[in-house]
Amino acid sequence: MSYDLHTRINTSPNSLIDLRSDTVTKPTMGMRKFIADADVGDDVYGEDPTINKLEKMLAERLGKEAGILMTSGTQSNLCSVLTHCARGEEVIIGKSYHIFIDEAAGASVLGGVAMAPIDTGDDNEMLPENISKAIKPDDPHCPISKLVCMENTVWGNAIALDKMIAAQQEANKHNLFTHLDGARFFNAIAKLGCSENDLANCADTVSICLSKGLGSPAGSVLLLPKDLETKARRWRKMLGGGMRQAGVIAAAGIYALENNINRLKEDQEKAELLAKELKKYSNESSDQKIIQNTNMVFFTPHAKDGQKLLSFLGERGIIINEPLPSTRMVMHLDISDNDLKYVVNSFDEFYNQ
Ligand SMILES: *Cc1c(COP(=O)(O)O)cnc(C)c1O
């Protein structure tokens, strides 16, 4: 069998169209070949050349002093919070942010770090006035405010650079450090069109996922200043993230950085197109809602249609999240133009039956 490098590998018997998340992407043939050729070593000894290359590559690209390969975005965020904060210290964070709601409260469980969730603005950004209100006085009744956690994109929403800078300045004014959960950092860049360096500059530490829109099978990178690196590596080891010949994972990351960043615009265009098509089925007075942000479409069908839609699409090999009442559909590397047409046609069939 021969493959070209962009050949998608479908391990399922029928090739399903999986819209649940951009985490479902499978490594392409090109990525698999690149992984196969990777030089590896023992990373706990600092001897994996491919990991070292990836860490340096991404740090230099984003103007940070150091990078550390992590097993996941959750581990990367956790290492950052534990590096910044000791027991009894506190993180101020958007109340809808991943670190607060979707990471099993690891910083509190494992680090004794308190979390102060705050209301965010229209684009889910951290509002300076809410940050300053949440900062605790130097009083024995209170935890010690230490870190402000930002996120971009949030629920697919790309937060403009000036809003990020405003939050950072507020944090710095009060001598707090900043962390950016940039799981989908490059989706934000694709939308905002600002420089990668400028966005990375909005926080002391930045975490980036390789395994979402970038299409790697695993891995995240934490970018940080040199003086935090030793401490963060100790936490990573303690959290079970000291991998050995993980150059095979780093190789996928290098391949992703070189091949899969520029194409994120296509995912956004596909999401825009899907949202536009879905608008045909809703009208001003209906309870159907469609929100599109970067590569995501949030669709709320009529309550009576939700379950029927789920199984109708399922029968046609299209997997979506259960509408509860809203469903998130995400565009990614494994959704081709034809797949999208097929999805749009399937919605047409559903609403015209
Ligand atoms: C996915 C995600 C993470 C965590 O990444 P995992 O690799 O799934 O642990 C963190 N933050 C945000 C905003 C995410 O979307």
Q: Report how far ligand 1's centroid is from the alpha carbon of 97 (Å).
A: 10
Strands (DSSP E) contained in the chain are: 17-18, 66-70, 89-94, 114-118, 144-151, 177-182, 205-209, 220-224, 289-293, 296-300, 318-319, 327-330
Closest CA to 95 of 125, 122, 117, 64: 117
pLDDT at 66 over 90: yes
Contact yes or no for 22/213 (Cβ under 8 A): yes
Residues 176 and 179: their CA atoms lie apart, in Å, by: 10
Is the Cβ atom of 181 under 6 angstroms away from ligand 1? yes
Which of 209, 220, 294 has most ligand 1 atoms within 8 Å of CB, for mutation? 209
Asked if the model's pLDDT at residue 337 lies above 60, the reply is: yes
Q: Whose CA is nearest to atom 4 of ligand 1?
A: 73
With 0-12 / 13-18 / 19 or more C-beta atoms within 10 angstroms meaning exposed / middle / buried, residue 353 is: exposed
86-136, pLDDT tens digit by residue? 999 999 999 999 999 999 999 999 999 999 999 999 999 999 999 999 999
What pLDDT is attached to residue 285?
60
* Residue 73 CB–ligand 1 contact under 6 Å: yes
Task: Specify whether the CB–CB gap between 1 and 29 falls below 8 A.
Answer: no
User: 2 pLDDT exceeds 90?
Assistant: no
* Cα-to-centroid distance, 2 and ligand 1 (Å): 35
Answer whether 271 contacts ligand 1 (Cβ < 6 A). Answer: no
Q: Is the dihedral of CA 265, 269, 274, 279 positive or negative?
A: positive
How many A from CA of 23 to the centre of ligand 1? 9
pLDDT at site 13 = 46
Q: Which residue has the tokens 């995240």?
A: 220
Residue reference for tokens 């985490």: 23
Q: Is 209 in the pocket of ligand 1 (CB under 6 A)?
A: yes
Cα gap 327→77, rounded to integer Å: 26
Cα 29 to averaged position of ligand 1 atoms, centre (Å)? 25
The CB of 228 under 6 Å from ligand 1? The reply is no
pLDDT at 15: 80
pLDDT score for 1:
44
pLDDT score of 68 more than 50: yes
- Mutational test site, ligand 1, from 22, 69, 72, 74, max ligand atoms within 8 Å of CB: 74
Whether residue 22 has its Cβ less than 6 Å from ligand 1: no
pTM of the model: 0.95
∠ CA 14-20-21, nearest 5°, is 110
Q: H-helix or E-strand containing 55?
A: helix 49-61
Q: Which of 125, 205, 110 is nearest to 170 (CA)?
A: 125
CA dist 250 and 57 (Å) reads 11
Measured from the Cα of 75, ligand 1's closest atom is: 9
Residue 230 DSSP SS3? helix
Residue 3 pLDDT > 60:
no
